[in-house]
């Protein structure tokens, strides 16, 4: 289907690139195609990067925000890679000028780059009046987390990211996200997993989000701690905060999350940790969706 650039006006549209949190992450042994099969309980935060777009003669990207200087620009940025790839593969004759406000730390295990790319594709779909929500797995060549970030909803993610099972009406969890200012290479932590990692089995997938989270674990956490010992310090700091029900690393790290019994306790914990560790990135948030 060829889409012609017949949308009038220069309106700017906006999307939030919500942070992706792996409440659990079970990693299988590498298979014959070179990938690790995953099983993950995924939720999205009510915080994230912000992306604006308007019609243009070519795809472009400008950036600002607390972490934009650490973010790849130009064609090295996943936003432009995703937009160019999907537009070409789907004969979409629309170009957008994107403006990114980078609020999330990079290489931090919360899907920032993938969430940005997914937001860029949602904007492309809105300008082009296209619905890709039922076949978001076509975005897998852009990045393994892009399909789940495109949907941006509570789900179980399996395979290498192509098998997504939404879990509606699971509510929200009060939480904090903490990154000590270090990054963990996803490639390197998976290589370490191949050398000495152990695959765990997913827990029971019933009950509340908190129960499901507690029934699982993150198979990469111990390995990431070996690579970045500060992660252990972060988890200990989170665990000792009032009302904390679970502290764990997200994804391949180094961002960790804490789940709390009340939002007020999460907000208080974020303030306490920020005062003690002013160089850490620490925010309170809600994970999941409203009923």
Task: Write the DSSP symbol of residue 30.
Answer: P
Answer for the pair 150, 265: CB distance below 8 angstroms, yes or no: no
- Give the CA angle between residues 215, 217, 221 to the nearest 5°: 165
Q: E-assigned strands of the chain?
A: 13-22, 26-27, 38-56, 60-64, 95-101, 155-159, 163-166, 172-179, 244-249, 256-260, 281-288
Q: How far apart are CA 137 and CA 147, in angstroms?
A: 5
Looking at the annotation, which residues are catalytic? 20, 145
Helices marked H in 90-138 — which ranges?
112-128
Q: How far apart are CA 95 and CA 84, in angstroms?
A: 9
Q: How far apart are CA 18 and CA 267, in angstroms?
A: 19
Phi, psi of 265 (to 5 degrees): -70, -35
């Amino acid at each position: 289907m060829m889409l012609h650039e017949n949308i009038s006006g220069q309106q700017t549209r906006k999307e939030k690139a919500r942070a992706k949190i792996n409440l659990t992450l079970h990693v299988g042994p590498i298979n014959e195609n070179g990938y690790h099969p995953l099983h993950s309980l995924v939720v999205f935060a009510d915080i994230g990067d912000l992306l604006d777009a308007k019609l243009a003669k070519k795809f472009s990207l400008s950036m600002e925000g607390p972490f934009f200087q650490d973010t790849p620009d130009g064609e090295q940025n996943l936003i432009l890679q995703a937009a160019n790839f999907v537009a070409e593969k789907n004969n979409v004759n629309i170009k957008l000028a994107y403006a990114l406000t980078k609020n999330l730390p990079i290489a931090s295990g919360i899907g920032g780059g993938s969430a940005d790319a997914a937001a860029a594709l949602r904007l492309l779909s809105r300008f082009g009046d296209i619905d890709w929500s039922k076949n978001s797995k076509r975005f897998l060549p852009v990045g393994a987390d892009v399909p789940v970030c495109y949907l941006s909803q509570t789900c179980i993610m399996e395979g290498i990211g192509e098998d997504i099972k939404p879990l509606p009406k699971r509510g929200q969890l009060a939480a904090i996200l903490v990154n000590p200012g270090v990054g963990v290479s996803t490639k390197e932590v998976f290589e370490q997993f191949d050398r000495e990692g152990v695959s765990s089995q997913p827990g029971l997938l019933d009950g509340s989000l908190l129960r499901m989270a507690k029934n699982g674990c993150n198979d990469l956490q111990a390995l990431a701690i070996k690579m970045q010992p500060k992660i252990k310090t972060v988890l200990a700091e989170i665990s000792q905060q009032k009302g904390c029900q679970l502290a764990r690393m997200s994804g391949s790290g180094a961002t960790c999350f804490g789940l709390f019994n009340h939002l007020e306790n999460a907000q208080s914990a974020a303030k306490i940790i920020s005062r003690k560790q002013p160089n850490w990135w620490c925010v309170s948030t809600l994970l999941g969706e409203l009923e």
